Amino acid sequence: MRIAFVSSSLPRRCGIATFTSDLMAATRTADPDLSTWVAAIDEPNVVRPYKREVRWRIRQGDPSSYRAAAAAINGSKVDVVNVQHEFGLYGTWHMAGTESVYEDHLRPFLEELRKPVVTTLHSVPPEPSPSMREAVLSIVELSQQVVVMAATAVDLLATDYHVQEPPIVIPHGMPAIEPHGRIRIKAKLGLQDRTIISTFGLVDPRKGLEYMVEAMPDVVARHPDALYLIAGQTHPNLLRSQGEQYRNSLIDTVERLGLRDHVSFIDQYLAQRDIIDLLLASDVYVTPYLDPRQITSGTLAYAMGAGKAIVSTEYLHAKEALGEGRGILIGFRNANQLAAAVNSILASGERKQTLEHMAYAYAREMTWPKLGRRWLELMSRPAAADTTRPRPREARTGTERHAGSPRAVAAIAAMVPTTETVVNEIPEDERSSPGVLPDMMPGVMIHGRP
């Protein structure tokens, strides 16, 4: 089987690019005979040296470029297309009077495409504008299958988008991690005497990192060895528009609060093995994000897969993943609640261990080795059909609404096929290595302006 993935692609520093790279690797592991090609979405005026798997390039923001890519894929030997959808990658916004209107560039692609397509929705915003709702309904109409990553998204598609048929739920994947080695890895990092709180990912104001920094004086008062590690480079879009303004504001807050020895920055785009080592060394993982509508978080998925005790604001993905006592949920923009939650974990070894075990148990069926097989099975269905033209499903544009929760329960029940163990599925050389984060040691305990 030959699959064309339409997505941003590494080395573009983008969460969708990382996700797609992981998904391609997982499906190839599930079927070594599988061929995976990419139609890579580039920002305007950007040229990147891609690997050979990138066969087509799409210029972001140019509708004709999307349509041309579809025509090129039509002329290839591709069996099925997988679109990784995020609104910013497939359209632009403009003002029409006082209203922000979304111009959908994916629809021209899907209308041109003559191959079966499976579309993954990475975001399903509640209460969408009419133009965003129409874009999603076009995806539902013109795709053979739609995939979301959380049961909450099933309900949102029904109630806020009037989609009658529930999508497939396949959760965000994560590496299969053995949640051991904290003491050993801390020693390798030179942090054996520290209690580590961490957040990783591209740095931008939507992450709410300043609230965790502001929480640190209360944490340090009870745990003088506490260190908050903020790992990741500034988001490239933010860097282009504002430079390091946000990071510098965080550094100013660190200085103002006298936290030089208790907050550090790892200003690097970390490889997967480096992220795993950072997580395994951490005592508490924090996502103080500010957008309550966020339906997917790859960093949260990774932290659960590493068996971390997690504190998070109540965005949609966190409420679903950390519910039923799997983590601690707090309000938005609240440093006091962050401090209280982190302190409650660090004060009780028993509670910390319980949270770690519950997070890991929840995530163990969501590892890439297992999800790779599920994705492969899903995409094999339309690929096996004799399809040379798109076969849109009936448009789900009616006003009939279903009772969301039962459908979400049914969808989520179908996503976990087994209860077998995780770590034995991975070749020895693919398992997480407790090595030192490369080139990071000189900067771990030092923060300064970039």
263 and 156, same domain (yes or no): no
Grade residue 386 by pLDDT with cuts at 50, 70 and 90: low
Number of domains in the chain: 2
Q: Tell me which of 206-210, 276-280, 425-429 is least confident.
A: 425-429
235 and 353, same domain (yes or no): yes
228 and 267, same domain (yes or no): yes
Closest CA to 131 of 87, 163, 164, 82: 87
Closest CA to 321 of 334, 305, 340, 335: 305
149 within some domain: yes
Structure tokens at 432: 């997480």
248 and 191, same domain (yes or no): yes
259 and 341, same domain (yes or no): yes
CA distance 24 to 14: 16
The predicted-structure confidence for 191-219, as pLDDT tens digits, reads as follows 999 999 999 999 999 999 999 999 999 99
More confident residue, 444 or 339: 339
306 and 381, same domain (yes or no): no
Grade residue 443 by pLDDT with cuts at 50, 70 and 90: very low
307 and 399, same domain (yes or no): no
Q: Domain range holding 347? A: 182-365+439-444
215 and 115, same domain (yes or no): no
431 within some domain: no
Q: What is the CATH number of the domain that holds 149?
A: 3.40.50.2000
430 within some domain: no
Q: Tell me which of 70-79, 180-189, 220-229 is least confident.
A: 180-189
450 within some domain: no
What is the pLDDT averaged over residues 320-349? Answer: 97
244 and 161, same domain (yes or no): no
Q: What is the pLDDT of residue 388?
A: 56
**pLDDT score of 430 more than 50:** no
427 within some domain: no
432 within some domain: no
Q: Tell me which of 63-67, 310-314, 358-362, 445-449 is least confident.
A: 445-449
The predicted-structure confidence for 92-117, as pLDDT tens digits, reads as follows 999 888 888 999 999 999 999 999 99
307 and 385, same domain (yes or no): no
177 within some domain: no
What is the pLDDT averaged over residues 391-398? Answer: 42
124 and 241, same domain (yes or no): no
421 within some domain: no
144 and 222, same domain (yes or no): no
What is the pLDDT averaged over residues 341-351? Answer: 97
